[in-house]
Structure 1
Amino acid sequence: MARRDKAVLESPHAHEPATDLATATVSRLGVVTSWSDGAQRLLGHPATDVVGRVVTELLAADPSDAAWAALAGAEAWSGPAAIRHRDGSRLVLGLRASPSLDGEGLADGFVVAFAPEPARNGYEDGGGDGDGDRGGDGDGYGDDQGMLERSYAQSSVALATFDAELRYQRLNDIACEMLGATAAQLRGRRYPATVSDSASTRGFLRRLRQVVETGTPTSYDSHFDGRAWNIKMWPVKDPSGRVRGISTASFDNSAQHWAQQRLALLNEAGTRIGTTLDVVHTAQELTELVVPRLADFVSVDLLDSVLQGEEPTTEPIDATTVVLRRVAHLSAVEGVPEAAVALGAVDTYPAYSPAARCLAAGRPLLSGPEDPDFVRWIEEDDVRSAGVHRAGVHSGMAVPLRARGMTLGVAVFWRRLRPEPFQPDDLVLAEELAGRAAVCVDNARRYTRESTAALTLQRSLLPKGLPGQAAVEAAFRYLPADSEAGAGGDWFDVIPLSGTRVALVVGDVAGHGVRASATMGSLRTAVRTLADVDLPPDELLTHLDDLVTHLTHDDDGTPDSDAQDADGISATCLYAVYDPVSRRCTLASAGHPPPGVLSPDGTVTLVDLSPGPPLGVGGLPFEATELELPEGSLIALYTDGLVEARDHDMDAGLDRLCRALAAPSPSLEVTCDTLIDSLLPSPTPQPGEPPPRFSSGLGPGRSPTRFARPADDVALLLARTRALHADQVATWGLPADPEIVADARLQASRQLQAWGLEEVGFITELVVSELVTNAIRYGAAPIQLRLIRDRTLICEVSDGNSAAPHLRRARTFDEGGRGLLLVSQLTQGWGTRQTTGGKTIWAEQLLPTGQAWGSP
C-alpha cells in the first residue's frame, strides 16, 4: 500500500485518501457495465460517459500479451495498465481483474479494481522496485514519471509519440505549434488525417511505416513552412521486443540547411556560370542558377556598351536616370508574369528605383513594398505595378554587376512564392553570385570586343565584291564561326590574270581571333603579289610555303616565340588558274580539300588532286593537276568548315556536297544558298527568341539570310566557266626572221579591221612590231603572235626562250632599249609569264567606248 499511497499523493488527479479503491465491472465482451464513484474521482469520467462503452477506449496503450491471454481464458490478472484521464493525461495504474461467476460457475464478466501505480520508466509496465520509495522529496519533482513528463513538455525540440497504428499518443508544445493544433485535438487521431498531402508529409508517413515494419531507427530531412527539419525516428518496443509505437524528435536546422544551400550555390556558380563567352548566355546562366533556389524571379540588365564589347565606366553610375537593356530574366512561374520589360528591350530606371540606387551606391540593397521609393517606382509604371501586385512580390534585392572596377549592369531578385523575405545573409550571397557572374560577363565582353575586331579585320581583308573578268561567272559566301570560336582565317579570292585568264583561290588558316585574321591577310596579299607575276600554281604555292616558314621563324632561323602556336602557322590553300581560250584549268593544293566540278551534262566529280603538305611544312614539292573544263562547267572551291562537322567526317560531307551541287538551280546565288542549307546545321534559336539571321557577306543590296553561324569558318567560291570563241581570238605562227615583222603588223591590222577596231590600229601595230622584234632577236623558236578581243585588246607574243625581258631607260646615245618603254607608256599594262615551253610577253590596251566584246 505504501507504493500505491505514494503514487496517489503524487498524482495530479488524486482527490481521495489512499484507502479509496476504484472499481468497475466489465462484461465478457469488454463492455463496461458499472462504474464506481472512486473510479469517477480517480479518472474524471462520470458513469454516464463510461457505462456501455468498450473498455479499451479508456486505455492509453494496449495491454500486454499476458493480460490478453488471461482475460481470454477468464482467469484473474493483475499488473500495471495505462489509462487515459478525462482531461487527456495518461495515468499508469495498478489493475486487478477477477472473473465474475454466474449461478453455474461460469465467468460472465470481470470485476476490475485499480489504483494509482508509480511508473519506473514511463512505459506501461510501471514496475517499481517493490518498496514504493523513490527517494522523492514529496513535491512531485523527484519521481521518475514526473521528471519524464516535464522533460517531454519542456524539450527544446519537437517531440511526438505514435502508436503502431500511427495514432498520436503524445506531443509537446513545439510539435503542436508545428502542426497548428492542440494535443487534445490530435491525440488518438491517425497522422495522415491531420496533415495536407504533400511530398514532405508523404515522405514522413513513409518513414513512420518503415519504423513500424522494420523496428529500425531512421532519420528524415523535411522542409515545412519555410523551415528545414531533421527528424529522428525510433521504435518503442515492449519487453518482448514487439513494436508498440514510434517516437520522433524534430530538430530545426534551418540555419545550417540554408548555410549549406548557400555554399552549394556558390560552388555551382563556379561551374554553371561562364560556360560560354557569350554575354547574354552568361546572364541567363545566372538566372537559371538562382531560380527557384534563392529567388522566385531574377532579371539581369546590362549597359549597351557591354553588349557592344566597349569599355564600361569604372565610376559608380550617378545620373538622374539609368538606361539598361534587359538581357535575361527567369521566373519560377511559367510565362514570367513578373517581367515588365521584354528580353532585348531597353528600360529607363529613375534615380529612386532599386536598380539605379544600387548602381549609384555601388553596393547591393534590400527593397520591397515597405520601401517608399520602391512603391513610388512601381506605382509610376502601370505595367510593372500590375505585374508586381498580381504576382504578390513581397521582398527584393538589387545587386550591381561590377568586375575589375567597372560597372556592367544590375541583377534584381524578387520573392513572391516563398513567404520568408530576403535576409542580410541572402544579400551577401546574391552579391557573391553577382560578382562571379560579372567577371564572366566581363570576360565575354572582352572576347566580344576581340572577336568584333578580328571579324572587322577579316572582313576588311576579304573581297568586298568580285572583279570584272571574262573567264568565269562567280559567286561566294563567307560565314564566320560562332561566337565561341570567333573570327577565323578562312579566305578566298578571284584574281584576273593576263590573257583573260583568272585565278581562283581559297585558303584556311588554323585558329581564330585577330592573329588568324592577320595571318590570313598576309597570305592573301602574298598570293595576289605572286599571281601578279603569273607564276604557275605549283610554283606559287612553293613561294607561299617559304613565306609561311619565314613568318614563323626569326631572322636567325629559330622559331618565333610570337608565332601563332607552338607548331607555327598551320594553313592550307588551293590555287587554280582557268584559261577561257584553251578551256583548261590548272590546280595545285597545299593540304586543301579537292574542289567539286559540275559538268554541263549534270555529273559531279571531285578533282583528283595530288595534294601537297599544308603551308609551313617546307621541303616537300607541290604538284599541279591540269584538266579541261567544257564551257558552262561549275567548279566549287570551299574550306573544310563546309564539309566537316561533329556528327560526320569529311567523306560524308563530300558526298553531301556532290549531291547538293547536282541539284538544279537557276543561278549561282541560289546554288550557294543550297549548298549552305544542305551542309550546315539549321539555326537553333533560344526559347522565346526569333530565328537568328546572319548576313553572309553577299555584298551590297543582299538581304540577310537564315544561315546559322557554324562551328568553324566557312568560305565558299563558285565559278561557272566561260570560253572565248574563234571570233574573239586570232593566232599566227611566225618564223624567226626579222623580215616577218612587217607581215605581222599587216596581219594584225587586217584583224583589227575585221573587228572594227581601226581606231587602235596604230598603237597595236607598234606593239606588235616591238614584241615580235624582241622575240626574234632575243628569243627562240617557235614564235607565236595572238590577239584577244574581250573587255580590252590583248596582244601576246610567245617564244621558246624562258629568259624574261626587263624594262630599262635608254640613255641619250643608246641605240636600243626603248621598245618596252614605249609599249609600257602606250598601253594600259604589260608583263611576262612563264610557260612550259618558254615565255609569253603581253600588252593590254583599252578599247574605245562601246567596242568591248559584248557591248551593244
Structure 2
Amino acid sequence: MDTSNAENADPAGASQGATSVSGAGPGGRPPAFDGLAAAVLDDRGTVVGWTGTAQELTGFCADEVHGRPVRELVADLPLDPRRATQWPATGRVRLRHRCGTTIEVTFRTTRVNGSADFLVLAAPTPHVADHQHGAALLRALSAQSGITIALHDTDLTTVQTNAVPDTPDPRPVQPGARLGDVLCAEDAQSIEAVLRQVLETGIPVLGRNQHVSWRHHPVPRHALSLSAFRLEDARGRPAGVAALYMDDTDQLRARRHLDLSREVAERVGESRDIVRTAQDLADVLVPAFGDLAAVDLARAVFDGDEPGERLGGGDLHLRNAALAPATAAWPPGIQRGNLVPPLSDHPLLRRFQRGETVVYGRDDYIALIGSPQPAEQLLPHDTHAVMVAPLHARGLTLGAIVVWRTVPSDPFTADETDLMRQIASRGALAIDNARRYTREHRAAMALQQRLLPPATTDTPAAETAGVYLPTGRGAGTRGDWYDAIPLPSLRLALVAGDVIGHGIPASATMGRLRAAIQTLADLEPEPDELLTRIADLVQRLAAEAPPGDHDVMGASCLYAVYDPVTRRCAMASAGHPPPVLVRPDGSAEAVELLPGPPLAVCGMPYETTTIELEPGSVLALYTDGLVHRGAHDVGDGLGRLTDALATSCRPDRALDETGRALLADLVDEAPRDDATLLLARTRAVPGEDTAHWQIPADPAAVSDARAWATRQLTAWGLDALVITTELIVSELVTNAIRYGRPPAELRLIRHHVLVCEVTDSSSAQPRLRRARTTDEGGRGLFLVAQLAERWGCRHGQNRKTIWSEQPIACAH
C-alpha cells in the first residue's frame, strides 16, 4: 500500500478542504491531532508511506525514507527489526533526526485492513504526556460538583461540556450546541461577548461574576464565577476557548444571610417599644429575605403580660403589630392592628405551636383558613410560598413572623429556614425585652408598698436611721420619704424624696416612686440614669392622672450610692437639696453638687457627683421641710442644719436618737411641710479584706486567675470556698476574655459574704441560658448561678461588672 503521494501533499492545501468541519483548527486538522506523525510499513519493516507531519517530526522527506528499513530511522529499536509483526502495539523509541539528534516519541501500531502493511502513529513523548495530563485534568474537573466546564471552538460552538441544566428533566448539553440553546438569550449574549474577547486577545478572564438562567427553566437564577482561557494548537494558533463556571450561588446566599443576620443584630432591639421593635424586625426582612413580611403578637404582649399557652386551632389571640413594606397593596384581611382570624387544627399549625418554623404554599394556607374565599382576603397577590416562624422566648410563644414570596421569587430553601429560625430567636428576645420593660414600668406605676422603710438599718456599708415628721397643718401627710437599699457587692443606696401635693394622692405617688426606685436600684444603674428613668415615670403618671390630681405628680429626689470598698459615694439630685457631710473630726458642710430639674420636668440632664467618705462619716439626706422654717431663707435653714449636725453627730450617740433630737430642734411645732431626715454613718471594708488582679487579654490567664484566687482564699482562711470560687472565677474570667474587652479586672471582697467581681470594658449584657447536650459552651453563667447564692451584672460608664456572692458562714 503506497500512500506516499497522498500523504506528502501540502498540509496547507489539505486545510482548504477541511475548513467547513466544525472544530477544525486553523491548519485544517483538529487541534488534538497537531504533531501526530504517521508512516506505513510493510511486513518487512520497510517504509512505504510517509506523511507531512512525519517529515516535520524527523526532518526527512518522503523521498528520503521511502523504501528504506525503518530500523535506519530508529536509534533504539525495542525488538527484532527484521519482522514488523514483532513490534509491540505501543511503546516508546528514539527516532533519528535529519540534523543528527534523536527524538523520543510514543508510538502505536495497527494493521491496515486487507493488507499486510502496518500503520504507525507517533508523537513526541512530551506532547503525549501533555495530552494525557490534560485529559486527566479535564476528567477530574468534570467530575467536580459545582464546576461546569465547556470547551468551545473558534466560532463558540460547544465541543465538549459536563453541563446539565437545572430543569425538571435534566439532560447533558450535547456537543454542537451554542450557549443560546441552553441559556436565556440575554445571558448567552453576555457570556459570548466575554468568550469572544478572550479568543481575540488571548487575555484570560478570572472570577467574573455572572448571573444566568436556563432557557427552559428561568427560575431560579444562578450566581456563577466565570473563568475563561484561550486554547491554542501546537503552533500557538487560537483553537477555541475553555470556560469554567463555578457555582457561587451558595456562597452568595451565605454572604447575604450573614449580612441579614448582622443587620438584625444591629437594628432589632434598639427600641424598648414593643410595636417599634416588631416593625424593625419586619422592615429588616424586606426585601432581603422576602417580598412581604408581617409580625403578629399575642394580645397580652402589647400590655407587657405573658401570653397563655394554646394548642390546636381556633382563636390564637394574635394581633398584627407590623407590616413591611407599609406601602404595599395588602389584602383587606391583613392590616395594621387586625386580629388574626381563627385557624383550623391543621398539622402545620401544630408544628408551629411546637416551636417549628414552617413553610407552606397557597393550598396549605387555604386549608388553614378553612375555605378559599377568606384566603383571598388574607393572602397577598401572587403568593407562591409562605414561611411562618414562632417568636419563642423563655418558654413563651410571643407571636409569629410571617414572610411571603411572590412570583417570580425563588422558593424558600432549607438553609433559609434555619436562618429564619435564628432571626426569630433574636427577634423574640428583643420583643420579650420590650415586653418586660413595658411590664416593669406598668408595675412600677401600680406598686403599693409601705410608705416608709424600717427606721434603722445595719449593713456592711453603713448604719442608718430615718426620722419622719408629718406636717402639722391638718392637710394630711405629704409625700416625703427616705430609703436605704442594700445593693450587691456590699454597697448601699440612700434615697430622699419629696412629692408635690398632700393627702392620699401624694402618699400614693410617693409609694409608687419608692417602689419604682427600689426596682430600678436593683438593676444598678448610675444615679443620673436612675433619676432619668424615674422622671419618665413621673411624666407618665402625670399624663394618666385625673385632671385634678396633676399637681401631685411632680417630685424632687436625691439618690446616692456608697461603696465601702472604694469609700466613694456617687450621687445625683433631681431638684432636691444637697446632702450634708459630717466628717469624723466633727466638721460639717453641704456637699456641692449640680442639681437637675425636678422629676416632673423633662428635657434637662442629671449629673452624677462623686465624693470620698472616711469611715465614721455621717451623710445626712433630708427634705426641704427641715430647712424651711417660717419666713426664713432656705440658705439660713441649711446653715442651721449644718451646724446642728456638726454638734449632734457624735460617735458615742445613736443615730436614731440624734435624728429625733435634730427634728425637735429644727422644726416648728406646727410645720407647714413634712420633714424627713436620713442619717447614714459610713463604714469601710478594710484593705486586707479586698484583693485585685489585672486580667491579661490571654486565654491562658484563666488558670492564673484560678491560682491567684486560691492563694488569696487560703490566706483568708476560706479553704472551704476554694473549689466553688475556682469554678466561678474560671467562668467569669473566661467570659471576660472571650466576649469582653480589655482592660479587665478580678476583685475579691471578704465580709459576711465572699464577693467575686469581674469587670471589663464591654457593655454587652450577659445572658443566662441552659445549654443543650451537644453545645460546646453556654454553661458558664448557669454554673455560676448554681454555685453562688446570687449573681448579677451592673453597668458603668464604658464598663460592666459581673458579680457573685457566696455566704461565708456556710463555709465554716
Q: TM-score, normalised by structure 1?
A: 0.41
Normalised by the length of structure 2, the TM-score is 0.43
- CA radius of gyration, larger in: 1
